[in-house]
Amino acid sequence: MKILLIDPPGWQKGGVNLGLGYLASSLCQVKHEVKIIDLNNNFCCDPIDDIVKSFTPDIIGYSVKTATANSTASISNRIKERFPKVLQIAGGPHISICYEKFLKANRQIKFAFIGEGEHSLVNFLELWSKGVSIQKVKGIAFYQNDNLTVNKREINSTLDKLPFPRLDLIEDINFSQFPYPLVTSRGCPYDCVFCCVGIISSKKWRYRSPQNVVSELEEAKKRYRIKRFEILDDNFTLNLNRAKEICRILIKKKIGLSWQCHNGIRADKIDEELAYLMKKAGCVSIALGIETGDEDIFRNIGKGETLQDIKRAAKLIKNAGMELIGYFIIGLPGDNLRTIKKTIEFQKTLALDWFVYGIMVPYPGTKMWDYVRKEGKILLDITDVSHFSDELKIPFETPGFTASERKQAYELTKNLEKFYRPKIKQLIINYIRNEPLDSTAVEERQKNQEKSNRFYINAVVQAGIRSGLVVVAWSILAFILLAVQFRKISNFCFRRSNK
Ligand code: B12
Ligand code: SF4
C-alpha cells in the first residue's frame, strides 16, 4: 500500500519527527511504499494537495502533538474534502492521551493509534489491505457509529529488533540543518507533575543495547554523512553503566561525531566517570531540567531529586568541559513572584552557559492538568500555547500567582539574559540552527577570547602610557607658565621696590 505520513506544522522548527522515521522503516520492511512530509522545517515546498495528487496514497497518517492538534484538524478536513477516498489515521503524543476527544471532534480521522505505532500499524495495514477485520489490532481506537472501541496498546520491549529509522524518506530532507535524532531508550518511571511521557511512552523504561545504538550511528554516518547527533531519550542515563558503555564504544571506534543531550538528563543520574566519558565520546552540551530553585516546590513536583543533586551534576558537567543548559518553569504548584526571584538567585549560583524559562503549560494527562482544574483558572486553549515560545501567552492563573504576576516573572527572567548576552546570543543562534558548539568550535572561541583579552590588555596599557605622557606634558607646560608668571611678578615687585 502507499502511505503518506505527515508531521503537521507547529511553531517550532529544528527537529525532525523521528517517530515517523521509525514507522516508515517498519512499513518499508514489509514492502509498503512510504513518503514523509515535514511541515515544520520547510524541506519540501510543494503544496500538500499536489503531493497527494502525485503520490496517490491509500492512507494518510498524522503525527500529532497537542501543539499541532489544530493544524492536523484543518489539514485533514481539507484532505477529506478534496480526496474523500483516502483513509486518514493519526498517532503521536496528543493522540496517545486524548484519542477519544480527538476522534470525536475529528470524524474525518477514522483510527487513532495509542502509544508506539510500529507493530500496530504494520498489523493494521496487513489486515486492512486484505479487507479483513481490524477489530483486534492492539493499540487502536475507533468509532463505529457512536460507540468507541479502544484496544489496549502493546509496550515494545525488544527495541533492538526495530529497523533503524528511515529519515531519508522525509521529502527533500537536508541533514545539515539539524543534528541526527537518536533515541536509545523509551519510557520513564518517574512522575514529574508537568510531564506526560509516562502516559505516552509508558512508565516502563526499555533500552537498546550499546552495540545496537552505535551501529545506528555508524550507518547514519555512512548513509546520511551526519556530523553530529542529538540524544532525545527521556532518560538516557537512567542506567549509568549502559550510558558509559555507549560512550566507551564511541571512543573505541573513534566515531568522530559531536553530540548533545538537549532533551536533558537527570541530575541524579550522572557521576564523574560518566561526565568524563561523555565528553571524551564527543558530547559537547548537556541540559538539566532544574525547574525551580525553591526547595519546597522542588520537593513537591515528583522529580525525586534534590537541589543538591542539581548543584552536583552542574559541577560535574562543567568540570568535564561540556556546555551546561538549565531549563526552568514559571508556574509550578506553589510558585509566585517571590519563588521565581528565589529561582533566579539559585540559577546564578550555577555556572550555566545558557538557560530557558518556560511558562508552565498544563498538558492533558499530567498532574498539573488536574491541579489547574482544581486550583486555578484556565485562560487559553492549551493547543494554542507553547512553553518556550517568544510570544508570551499565559495559559492559566492561580489566586497566589495571577496572569499579570506571571508576565512580570517572565520579564524578570528575560532581563537576566542581558548578563549572558554574548554567550546567550551565540547559543541561541546555535540552538535555532540546532548547531551544538562542537569541541573545535569551543577551542576556537576560547582562542579568540584569549586573543581579544590580550587586545584589551594591550589597549589599556597603551592608553595608560598615552595618558601618562599627556599628564607629564601638561605638567611641564603648566610649570613653564607658572615660572614665567612668577618671573613677571618678581620683576614687577623688584621694580616697585627700586622706585
Ligand atoms: C524530539 C522532540 C521534539 C522536537 C521534534 C519535534 C517533531 N517535529 O517531531 C522539537 C524540539 C522540535 C519538539 C518541539 C516541541 N515539543 Co517535543 N518532544 C520531543 C521528544 C523529546 C522526543 C520525540 C521522539 O522522537 N520520540 C521518539 C519516537 C519514536 O516516538 P514518537 O514521536 O512518540 O512516535 C511514536 C508514537 O507516538 C507513534 N506515532 C507517532 N506519530 C504517529 C503517526 C501515526 C499515523 C501512527 C500510526 C503512530 C504514530 O508511533 C511512533 C513510533 O513508535 C518528546 C518526548 C517524548 N518522549 O515523546 C517531546 C514531546 C513530544 N514534545 C512535547 C512538546 C510539548 C513540544 C512543544 C510543544 C514544546 C514547545 N516548544 O513549546 C514543541 C511543539 C512542536 C511543534 N511542531 O511546534 C511534549 C508533547 C506533549 C503533548 N501533549 O503533545 C513531549 C512529549 C515532551 C514532554 N515531556 O511533554 N519536540
Ligand atoms: S520530566 Fe523527565 S524524569 Fe520527569 S517524568 Fe518526564 S521524562 Fe521522566
**pLDDT tens digit sequence for 16-31:** 999 999 999 999 999 9
Residue 464 has pLDDT above 60, yes or no: yes
Angle of helix 118-130 versus helix 18-29 axis, rounded to 10: 50
Question: What is the atom index within ligand 1 of the atom nearest the CA of 98?
Answer: 83
Integer angstrom CA distances of residue 61 from 13, 24, 163, 279, 344: 20, 11, 19, 39, 43
Strands 140-144 and 396-397 turn out to be: unpaired
| pTM given for the model | 0.87
Å from CA of 93 to ligand 1 middle:
6
Task: Flag whether pLDDT at 86 surpasses 70.
Answer: yes
Instruction: Give the pLDDT score at 469.
Output: 81
Contact 314, 277 (CB under 8 A): no
Is the C-beta atom of 79 inside 6 A of ligand 1?
no
Fold of 179-421+485-491: TIM Barrel (3.20.20)
CA–CA dist 324, 307 (Å, integer): 16
Q: Which percentage of the chain shows pLDDT scores above 90?
A: 76
Ligand 1 atom with the shortest distance to the CA of 96: 37
Under CATH, domain 2-150 is a member of which superfamily?
Answer: Cobalamin-binding domain (3.40.50.280)
Q: Give the pLDDT band of residue 440 (cuts 50, 70, 90).
A: very low
Q: Whose CA is nearest to atom 3 of ligand 2?
A: 190
Residue 202 CA to ligand 1 centre (angstroms): 14
Substitution site in 121, 232, 291, 434 for ligand 1 pocket (most atoms within 8 Å of beta carbon): 232
pLDDT on residue 43: 85
Is 190 near ligand 2, meaning CB less than 6 Å away? yes
pLDDT mean over 72-97: 97
Considering the chain, what is the average pLDDT of its residues? 89
Place of cell 489486515: 127
pLDDT, tens digit, 9 for 90 and up, residues 115-162: 999 999 999 999 999 999 999 999 999 999 899 999 999 999 999 999
Reported as type and span, the H/E element at residue 2 is strand 2-7
- Beta carbon of 197 within 6 Å of any ligand 2 atom: yes
Grid coordinates given for 4 = 503518506
* Cβ of 233 below 6 Å from ligand 2: no
Distance 16 CA to ligand 1 centre (A): 10
From the CA of 8, how far away is ligand 1's center (Å)? 12
The response to whether residue 63 sits with its C-beta less than 6 Å from ligand 1 reads yes
DSSP state string for 131-189: T---TT-TTEEEEETTEEEEPPPPP---GGGSPPP-GGGBTT--GGGSPEEE--EE---
Q: Using alpha carbons, list the distances in angstroms from residue 389 to 299, 341, 358, 359, 393.
A: 27, 21, 8, 9, 8
pLDDT band at 316 (very low <50, low <70, confident <90, very high): very high
pLDDT of residue 477: 86
Annotated domain spans of the chain: 2-150, 179-421+485-491
* pLDDT at 459 > cutoff 50: yes
If you measure from the C-alpha of residue 264 to the centroid of ligand 1, how many angstroms do you get, rounded to a whole number?
14
Lowest mean pLDDT across 115-129, 231-245, 256-270, 406-420: 406-420
Bigger pLDDT: 83 or 449? Answer: 83
Residue 3 CB less than 6 A away from ligand 2: no
Query: 233: CA distance to ligand 2 center in Å?
Result: 10
Q: Which of 111, 106, 44, 42 is nearest to 74 (CA)?
A: 106
Nearest to 101 by CA among 77, 73, 133: 73
- pLDDT at residue 443 above 50? no
